[in-house]
Each structure stands twice: as structure tokens, then as C-alpha cells.
Amino acid sequence: GFAQDQQREEELFKKLESSTNNPIITDKYTADPAALVYDGRVYIYAGHDQAPDDQERYIMNEWLLYSSDDMINWKEHPVPLKPTDFDWAIHSAWAAEVLEKDGKFYWFVTVEHNDSKPGKAIGVAVADSPEGPWKDALGKALITNDMTTQTDISWDDIDPTVFIDDDGTPYLYWGNQVCKYVKLKDNMIEIDGPIHTVDLPKFTEAPYIHKRGDWYYLSYAYDFPEKTAYAMSKSITGPWEYKGILNEVAGNSNTNHQSIIEFEGKWYFVYHNGSIPTHGSSFHRSVCVDRLYYNKDGTIKRIVMSSE
């Protein structure tokens, strides 16, 4: 019966929580974590997997926000943003990235565009603090499906990641099946020049850029079901050298979506899996955090999932 199921679920949660800290959120399904380190806190902006337990499809009508100053205790903030906060978008709080530039916070999102330009599109919201309030920065999409027709799918313009290079130039990377990038103008809300592509083995989606020392890292969801793989370069525009698998297929989830951050001298791999007992799945995902370690030559050691 329901009470027994609930008791079993609670016991499993307790076990999970006592052995590890993963998943970090257990009362809601959370996906595609975009992690931001700012002023002694880590903020995680995640899509909310809202499909009923018996439905295996994406229903994602809002993003959620959590923050922590110790990577152990997570505080939930009020719902910060929804796809419908963009006048031109209708649903799908898909993967995003949040970063700070010159005292403003920019939240690059994937959403479903309305019927004027059907398909997934990338928008930008802006705020004066990591907690918002957020508002559409542009009044229209930054990237739409009709700008980049490399494939015939309607979801090829998803999963933005933005990196500001040492000279201050912002670069947007994104894509599904084809990894694309473009320079952004200083204002963060206009593209600056042509769209390029990057050749990466078995690129599926979820590109993420970070830098450590002289090395740029481009990690991404590889193959399907997805593993996380990565490439390295001495420049933000490549050439990228493929370095191999970073993370295995995420327990019980076809997708894998990572952020890589340094916080108080330690590196972390922030991702999702489908590990919550009973209903965890590809469409009922949960954000997890594990440590990330480098080798002497700058390559990254495989992630050891602490929940499995």
C-alpha cells in the first residue's frame, strides 16, 4: 500500500543520506545543474523534473535554486525563473548556465519557443544578484532554431554554456549532435560574428567550459545513454584534443549533465542521475555532487560516484 511504499522510500532515503551526501536534494526531482560560485556560496540552478511518477517524459515548467556555503547543507530559495517569464517562450525549463560579469548576473537558458519560431531556443535573463529577481534581458531569443540548421531536429539549439576569456571576451558554446560556439558582445546579449562548430567524438549535448591554469576544458555528454567526456585546449577557440571519459552513464538516467567548479580550493563535479529510489529515472532526475581531481599533466581523473 501507499503507506508501506512511503515508509520504504523514507528508509532508502535515510540509507542514501547516511552513506553519502548524494543526491543533494531528495524532496524534488532536479536536473541539469548550473553551478555558480559567488561570494563564498555555491548556487545551483536546476531544472525541475515535474512529470508524474508514472510518466516517462519531460515536464519541466520552472527552474529551482539551491545554495550552500559548505557543499553539504543546501538551502532552497523561492522558484527563481520559469520559461513563461520570457514572453516568447512556452515551456521546457531545460539546461542553463549562470555567470557574473561586471556586477550583473546572466542566466542563459534553454526553452521551447512559441509558434512563431518552433523548437528549442536559447534566451538570457539578467539580475543584480544571484538570487534575482530575474528578467528577460533581450525580449527575444538569442539563438533560435532557424539560425542554425545543421540538423533537422528541433532541439539542436540547447544547453548553453558561457565562458569569459582572460581578455574579457565572452564565448557561448551550445548544441545537440553538433557542438557550436560563437563570440558574444561585451553586453552578453548579442552574438558577435559567425557561428562555428567543434568536432568532438560522439558529441550529444551539454557542453561545459572551465579553465584551470593554462588549460581550457570542454566537457560534454557523450553518446547515448550519455557518459561525460572531455577535451582540452590551450585556447578557448581550440583546437580541442579529446581526452576520454570523465564520468560513466549516470545511474538510471539516459542523460548526464555536468558543471565543474572550484570552491574553497577543491574541485567539484556537479551532475544528475536517476538514483532516487522507486521513481528515479531519466525523467525523474536528482542533482549530485562529487569531488573532481586532476593528474599532474592537467588531465582529469575519472569521477568516482559516491552514491553508487
Q: What is the CA radius of gyration of the chain?
A: 18
**Residue placing its CB nearer to ligand FUB in the complex, 55 or 73:** 55
3-state secondary structure of 157: coil
Residue in 206, 218, 231, 232 binding ligand FUB, rule: CB under 6 A: 206
Interface with ligand FUB, residue 255, by CB under 6 A: yes
Give the CA distances from residue 188 to residues 61, 99, 101, 146, 200, in Å, rounded to whole numbers and listed in that order: 25, 10, 9, 21, 26
Interface with ligand FUB, residue 157, by CB under 6 A: no
Task: Work out how close the CB of 159 gets to ligand FUB at its nearest, in angstroms, rounded to a whole number.
Answer: 5
**Residue placing its CB nearer to ligand FUB in the complex, 183 or 284:** 284
For the sheet with 286-291, list strands across it. Answer: 259-263, 266-273, 286-291
Residue in 12, 37, 48, 58 binding ligand FUB, rule: CB under 6 A: 58
Residue entry with cell 540552478 = 45
Residue in 16, 24, 25, 32 binding ligand FUB, rule: CB under 6 A: 32
3-state secondary structure of 44: strand
Measured distance CA(239)–CA(233) in Å, rounded: 6
**Residue placing its CB nearer to ligand FUB in the complex, 174 or 297:** 174
Interface with ligand FUB, residue 36, by CB under 6 A: no
Measured distance CA(238)–CA(292) in Å, rounded: 23
Task: Work out how close the CB of 249 gets to ligand FUB at its nearest, in angstroms, rounded to a whole number.
Answer: 13
Task: Work out how close the CB of 120 gets to ligand FUB at its nearest, in angstroms, rounded to a whole number.
Answer: 8
For the sheet with 179-183, list strands across it. Answer: 161-164, 170-174, 179-183, 196-198
Interface with ligand FUB, residue 47, by CB under 6 A: yes
Measured distance CA(93)–CA(120) in Å, rounded: 10
Residue in 16, 24, 25, 31 binding ligand FUB, rule: CB under 6 A: 31
Interface with ligand FUB, residue 121, by CB under 6 A: no
Tell me, by CB under 6 A, how many residues bind ligand FUB: 13
Footprint on this chain of ligand FUB (rule: CB under 6 A): 31-32, 47, 58, 94-95, 110, 158-159, 205-206, 255, 257
